[in-house]
Amino acid sequence: MPLSIFGFRALWSPYFLMFILVLIAVYFYLTVKKRHLFKDSEPLKKSQAVLFLISMLLLYIIKGSPVDLMAHIMFTFHMVQMAFLYLVIPPLFISGVPNWIWKHVIELPSFNGIFRFFTKPLIALVMFNGLFSVYHIPMVMDYVKMNMFLHALYTVVLFVFALFLWWPLVNKLPGHYQLHGLKKVGYILGDGVLLTPACGLIIFAPEAMYATYTDGEMWMKAMELCVPGATLAGLNISGPELFTNMPAREDQQLGGVLMKIIQEIVLATILSKVFFEWYKKESTGVDPVDESLIQHDPRPAD
């Protein structure tokens, strides 16, 4: 069956598009028009604006285009969606927001202590991968996908922890956790290792594990996350098999494999950048591993 039967709203999420456009407008309003109101602000760099716009475009493609609808039909698209949402978009977003904006956000009294705690490298690494792995326990995922509020909450929480995960690797804000040298390499390798058990469970499971992709009734309930209930009520459909010829188990395996491949590509890209920077420092005669491999926030914790 064609996806068009679900309607324009389900395919292109106009409300989510409006949300993305508002985010972009606020971004340029603060960084260009109202920059003079912020202490220590600097002119917006073209590279920062480009990275932010790319992150917003990818966010809309992943959560607002037909990709989101397909993620509720095929597990393969779900895992690709997860990979981009939590492994590709966060570092682009962090790099696209100027340091002086981050500084003002992080120094909010109600947020400062929480942010500094959860961006500690070990905590950030364990928390994100733990939340990701728990989400993909079949009983948990099926339950969350059938509750609109829980699904939205878990998605937002996991995205926030993805920002915490990437912060020590890509942030350039003085006085905050910044990994260097071998610690950065170990952090990258650790992230790859910690996500492997969840992907392995998905890839090597003897049968399809998720009822929201195999049971017609539960699948229809989960589809309410992206398709208006009135539209679903008017459709005579029984399950995701009407939209794909791929068996559920093979779909699940392919999703796990693609998730791991995308992760390895992203981490390899970051790792190659680390080695290039390290080589550049060595070639100039500067020791790439200084006495403080992690720069800690000098201010006392709250």
Q: Which of 36-50, 77-91, 278-292 has the lowest mean pLDDT?
A: 278-292
User: Dihedral of CA 84/89/92/94: which sign?
Assistant: negative
Please give the pLDDT value at position 297.
47
pLDDT digits (tens, 9 = 90+) for 116-157: 999 999 999 999 999 999 999 999 999 999 999 999 999 999
Helix-helix angle 138-145:121-135, to 10 degrees:
80
Burial 215-234 (b: 16+ CB within 10 A, else e): eeebbbbbbbbbbeeeebee
pLDDT digits (tens, 9 = 90+) for 167-197: 999 988 877 667 777 888 899 999 999 999 9
What values do phi and psi take at 179, rounded to 5?
A: -75, 145
Please give the pLDDT value at position 148.
94
Count CA atoms within 13 Å of residue 9 on its CB side. Answer: 10
pLDDT digits (tens, 9 = 90+) for 235-277: 889 889 999 999 999 999 999 999 999 999 999 998 888 888 7
Asked whether the predicted pLDDT for residue 301 surpasses 80, the reply is no
Structure tokens at 234: 């008017």
Q: pTM value?
A: 0.90
- For residue 188, CA distances in Å to 72, 169, 229 come to 30, 8, 42
User: Could you tell me which of 255, 244, 238 has the C-alpha nearest to residue 202?
Assistant: 255
Please give the pLDDT value at position 285.
56
Q: What is the Cα–Cα distance from 292 to 181, expressed in whole angstroms?
A: 10
Please give the pLDDT value at position 174.
77
CA angle (257 as vertex; 6, 218 as ends), nearest 5: 35
* Burial bucket for residue 207 (CB in 10 Å: 0-12, 13-18, 19+): exposed
pLDDT confidence bin for 73, thresholds 50/70/90: very high
